[in-house]
Structure 1
Amino acid sequence: MSPDVTPGGPQQPDPEQWEQVLRAMLGPAADDAIAQMRAMGVDPSAMAAASGLPADPAALQAAIAQVQRMLATSGDEPVNWGMAHDLARQQAAQGGDPSLSPGRAREVIDALAVAELWLDAATDLPPSSGRPRAWSRAEWVEATLPTWRTLTEPVAVSLSAALADALRPALGDGPDGVLDLPGLPAGMPFGDPVQLLRGLGSAVFGLQVGQAAGTLAREVFGTTDIGLPLLDRPAPALVPTNVDAFAEGLDAPLEEVRLYLALREAAANRLFAHVPWLRAHLLDAVAAYARGIEIDVDQLEEAVRSIDPTDQTALQEALSGGVFAPRTTPTQQAALARLELALALVEGWVDEVATAAAAPHLPHAVALREMVRRRRAAGGPAEQTFASLVGLELRPRRLRDAAAVWAHLATTRGIDGRDAVWAHPDLVPTSQDLDDPAGYDARRQAEVEGSADLDRALAEILGDADGTVDGGARAGTGSGPGAADASDDEARDGSDGPSDDERPGGPVTI
């Protein structure tokens, strides 16, 4: 007997049923979309069949219920973290992720211990207090996922709110804010457009975070490869499977590669452990970017109109290319500039210190340095995923310039003087210093002199304003160098001085 192929039969989706689904997903625009699809010769039920979704109504409703459960599990979270966790573990396990044997773990721990000894001669910063570890890819995911939450949630919250606000006029709410969609079960998330957007956004962000974290787990060497500290408490760790994969095809022996990467990991952890303001500065730059997110509705509408729903490849490229991409505001551009400079300074310091520590011991230290530089400059699939997710490229574009600045400071000030620059954000190099490393000291001296001149000017103004100098003992018209000096000293003692923003050039920050 031939199978039943009548509309609504078990082998062909019901056109009316699928039109209801489209109306549930597209809202008031569904009728126009369906009409355009038919004008192009596209049958909604044929699209359903091509998608591989269930053909009979009961199975279709089960699929919709599954989508409902997916959206419901997001709750009020901006990112579906259960989904992110599961996908990250799946991605990390691709190609195999065996548990580390005691012997392999010992190789990593020993390499990190040697790295700490060598670094003592190359930096004044002491080792971090965290216990060194050797991780599988899955263990890396578990350890770093909390920081991914810190990084991505501000962006997810801002993007979801901006998208909902931008599309709210076109959502077409029915009575009591719920769309009336005959034929669909009551209470489905499709009925509330705002909740639909939030649920879909949470699910999409969960998928993207999971994809990025899982892909990174197959690429990173430790916890600091992307320039951001991925642990709350710094502790050096290496993923030996990835270290081995990187060493394949290189002229340097595996042991040298492992030691050089251990030096970089240990150096970065020293920096994050003993420069308390640095981690917060980096994460705050991401949050500042997130707070300024705006959706370009015109660009969104144009992108949607340009998509050919019959071309699956074009549709996928449009979605992955940033159909919902936010526009960059001046505030965001400033946050991006701060983050880019900070990443360059961190990795430039690590690059300089690790290579200086390796040079007396590793014959291939310079070659390994160049290989790592090129790898970071090129980026990888995981970094591209993260860039599309939050709009940030975790790439130190000026790594070489930053390394040159740190090398210059080590030459002119010594190792202790170079590392002392991290004591306060006002002391660290700026973009101008990256352009001209040799002028660092002259520019800092000019800032000090300019601040002193401003202090004297303020002291004179304050003295003239209250008509007294020297604690009010004499009138402001008094003369003589002693009176002037007393006035200056009194004005300084009686005020906190100008704020950073009042000094010439503003605060020196990264």
Structure 2
Amino acid sequence: MQVIDWDLAVATGVRLVRPGPQVSREEARHAVQELRRLSREAEVHVQEFARINGAAAPVEATVVDRPGWIRANVDGFRVVLEPLTEKVNERRSQIPAIVGAVGSRVTGVEVGAVLAFLAARVLGQYELFLPPDPSGQAPTGRLTLVAPNIVHTERELGVVPRDFRLWVCLHEETHRVQFTGVPWLREYVRGQMTEFLLASDLDLGTMLERLRAASDAVADAIKGGEGNLIDAIQTPEQKEILSRLTAVMTLVEGHGDYVMDAVGPSVVPSVAEIRAKFQHRREGGSRLDRTIRRLLGVDLKMKQYAEGSTFVRQVVNEIGIDGFNRVWHSPETLPTHTEIADPTLWLTRVGTPKELPSPNGHS
């Protein structure tokens, strides 16, 4: 039994997503070529600055349109949700067939609508969870850039296109370096996500209770409150797991933001202008846009960028980039939520560079 009707999710997302900006065939071709080239250029800058050794050999970014991003993310979702699908199938006798059939189609439409909303906003991402390559030759992750969104945003902000495109590539390339250069990080994140999914309550009564909570969250968000769907549908155990997962994602997102701005001045002349305009854009949007962002937890992601970047900046200022890189030594050296808010706690717990070997085995 499917938890989500994936084909319907793709069809819904592709149908609902807004078209990209109007560009000529030549402009589109140039944007795609430049993004691919800049993704390779960004790799050199990130490696030199971040000093995380062992990253996989760079591969040219995959450049997609909005429907392409939707299809790619559905592939990734199917991989991530596989443990939950297996759990549901083990309990299929407890769930009436009609409930399962209708439920998978309802969630398919819902997922498609969410993807349509996000597909018009995401500039790029490092896709961690792609279906395994049968040949075993393809890398485990993929750097993806959404060309229409990058072009739309640079026009909206009125910034230098080449500078903005490289700036975006620097952030996403940092994620590629993180997840391929730190051997345990990808499986740690996947393990936490699997643990989160398997902590779900799947009996019918609990599912109905979660739906009521989700409805209350929607009503609260529409009224301008802080309600969001992620909080509404969690079990107590899931909240504890999500705290760990959010902490590590705050770190990797903040590190990406820190690197893109720190590298920026030497290779992106207008980086200060781009950051100021982009930050203002992040905080804006219509009331409906802000409500949906709140419901989906997108505002939480924006907060992660800021908190994570502040943590990285303070630690690097205190003990340098090599000292900061102790954070990648093991899951035990990752900062907690509390330590991200107060970096001195992490510095005290983890120690100075001479007390702890680096993730590459050097002191």
Within 1, Cα distance between the matches of 2:251 and 2:294?
21
Pairing 1:348–2:247 present: no
Which of 108, 126, 150 pairs up with 2:35?
108
Report the CA distance shift for 1:210/1:158 in structure 2 as closer, same or farther (over 3 A).
farther
- Residue 200 of structure 1: CA displacement? 0.9
Question: CA separation in 2, counterparts of 1:368 and 1:405?
Answer: 22
Pairwise CA distance, 1:82: 1.7
1:287, 1:103 → 2: CA distance?
40
Taking a change above 3 Å as real, the CA distance of residues 256 and 353 of structure 1, as seen in their structure-2 partners, is same
Identity percentage of aligned residues? 23
Residue pair 2:121, 2:149 contacting (<8 A) in 1 also: yes
Q: 2:325 is paired with a residue of what secondary structure?
A: helix
| Aligned equivalent of 1:83 | 8
Seen in structure 2, the aligned counterparts of structure 1 residues 374 and 159 have a Cα distance that, compared at 3 Å, is farther
Write the distance in 1 (CA, Å) between the matches of 2:35 and 2:18: 21
Amino acid at match of 1:359: P
C-alpha contact (below 8 Å) 2:12/2:109 kept by paired residues? yes
Contact 2:13–2:116 under 8 Å retained in 1? yes
Task: From 404, 422, 431, give the equivalent of 2:310.
Answer: 404
Separation (CA, whole Å) in 1 of partners of 2:189 and 2:284 = 21
**3-state secondary structure, aligned to 2:157:** coil
**Residue 150 of structure 2: aligned partner:** 243
Distance 1:350 1:322, change over 3 A: closer
| Counterpart pick for 1:213 among 115, 135, 147 | 115
The structure-2 alpha-carbon separation of the partners of 1:365 and 1:383, relative to structure 1 and needing over 3 Å to count, comes to farther
- Describe the shift of the 1:143–1:254 C-alpha distance in structure 2 as closer, same or farther (beyond 3 A): same
Aligned to 2:75: 146
- 1:249 alignment partner, SS class: helix
Residue 404 of structure 1, CA deviation: 2.3
Preserved contact between residue 20 and residue 152 of structure 2 (Cα < 8 Å): no
Query: Which segment is superposed worse, 258-267 or 270-279?
Result: 270-279
Mapped partners of 2:89, 2:110: distance in 1: 14
Q: 1:269 to 1:288 in 2, by over 3 A?
A: same
Q: Give the secondary-structure state (helix, strand or coil) at the position aligned to 1:359.
A: helix
Compute the displacement of 1:330 (Å).
Answer: 2.0
Instruction: Could you tell me which runs of 5 or more consecutive residues in structure 1 were left unpaired when the two chains were aligned.
Output: 1-75, 169-193, 308-313, 450-510
SS at match of 1:134: strand
Whichever residue aligns with residue 417 of structure 1, its letter is G
> One-letter code of the match for 1:260?
W
Cα distance in 1 for residues equivalent to 2:351 and 2:164: 41
List runs of 5+ in structure 2 lacking aligned partners. Answer: 132-139, 356-363
Match of 1:328 in 2: 234
The 10-residue stretch of structure 1 (368-377 or 284-293) with the greater mean CA deviation from structure 2: 368-377
Partner of 2:167 in structure 1? 260
Runs of 4+ aligned residues of structure 1 deviating over 4 Å after TM superposition are: 95-101, 152-165, 295-304, 370-388, 391-394
Look up the equivalent residue of 2:14 and give its one-letter code.
Answer: R
CA contact (8 A) 1:223 1:231 kept: no
Contact 1:111 1:262 in 2 (8 A): yes
Q: C-alpha displacement at 1:105, in angstroms? A: 1.8
Query: 1:383, 1:261 → 2: CA distance?
Result: 26
Q: Could you tell me which residue of structure 2 aligns to residue 440 of structure 1?
A: 346
Instruction: Give per-residue Cα distances to partners, 1:293-343, cap 9 Å, x unaligned.
Output: 337949958998xx9xxxxxx9xx9xxx999x9653321110121122122
Task: Give, in whole Å, the separation in 2 of the partners of 1:432 and 1:273.
Answer: 27
- Cα pair 2:210 2:233 within 8 Å, conserved: no
1:397 Cα deviation from its structure 2 partner: 3.1
Cα distance in 1 for residues equivalent to 2:52 and 2:273: 25
Do 1:212 and 1:382's aligned partners in 2 also have CA atoms closer than 8 Å?
no
Corresponding residue for 1:339?
Answer: 245
Contact 1:345–1:402 (8 Å) recurs in 2: yes
Aligned residues: 327
The answer to which structure, 1 or 2, has the higher relative contact order (CA under 8 A, 6+ apart) is 2
Q: Deviation at 1:252?
A: 2.3
- Decide whether the 8 Å contact of 1:282 with 1:339 is kept in 2: yes
Q: 1:231 to 1:356 in 2, by over 3 A?
A: farther
Structure-2 separation of matches of 1:326 and 1:408: 33
The one-letter code of the counterpart of 1:338 is: R
Distance in 2 between residues matched to 1:398 and 1:364, nearest whole Å: 24
The answer (yes or no) to whether the contact 1:88–1:211 under 8 Å persists in 2 is yes
The residue type paired with residue 365 of structure 1 is V
Aligned residue type for 2:199? G
1:277-426 matches, cutoff 5 A: 277-294=184-201, 297=205, 300=208, 327-372=233-278, 384=292, 395=301, 397-426=303-332
Q: CA separation in 1, counterparts of 2:210 and 2:254?
A: 41
Q: 1:270 to 1:117 in 2, by over 3 A?
A: same
- Cα 1:250–1:113 change in 2 (3 A) is same
Higher helix share: 2
Instruction: Provide TM-score, normalisation by structure 2.
Output: 0.73
Offset, 1:238: 1.5
| CA distance, structure 2, for counterparts of residue 90 and residue 269 of structure 1 | 31
| Alignment partner of 1:202 is 2:104 | yes
Contact kept, 8 Å, 1:377 with 1:395, in 2: the verdict is: no
Q: CA deviation at 1:143?
A: 2.8
Give the SS at the match of 1:237: strand
Q: Which of 229, 233, 236 pairs up with 2:128?
A: 229
1:383/1:394 contact within 8 Å kept: no
Distance 1:231 1:125, change over 3 A: farther
1:425, distance to aligned residue in structure 2 (A) = 1.1
C-alpha displacement at 1:381, in angstroms? 5.8
What code does the residue aligned with 1:91 have? L
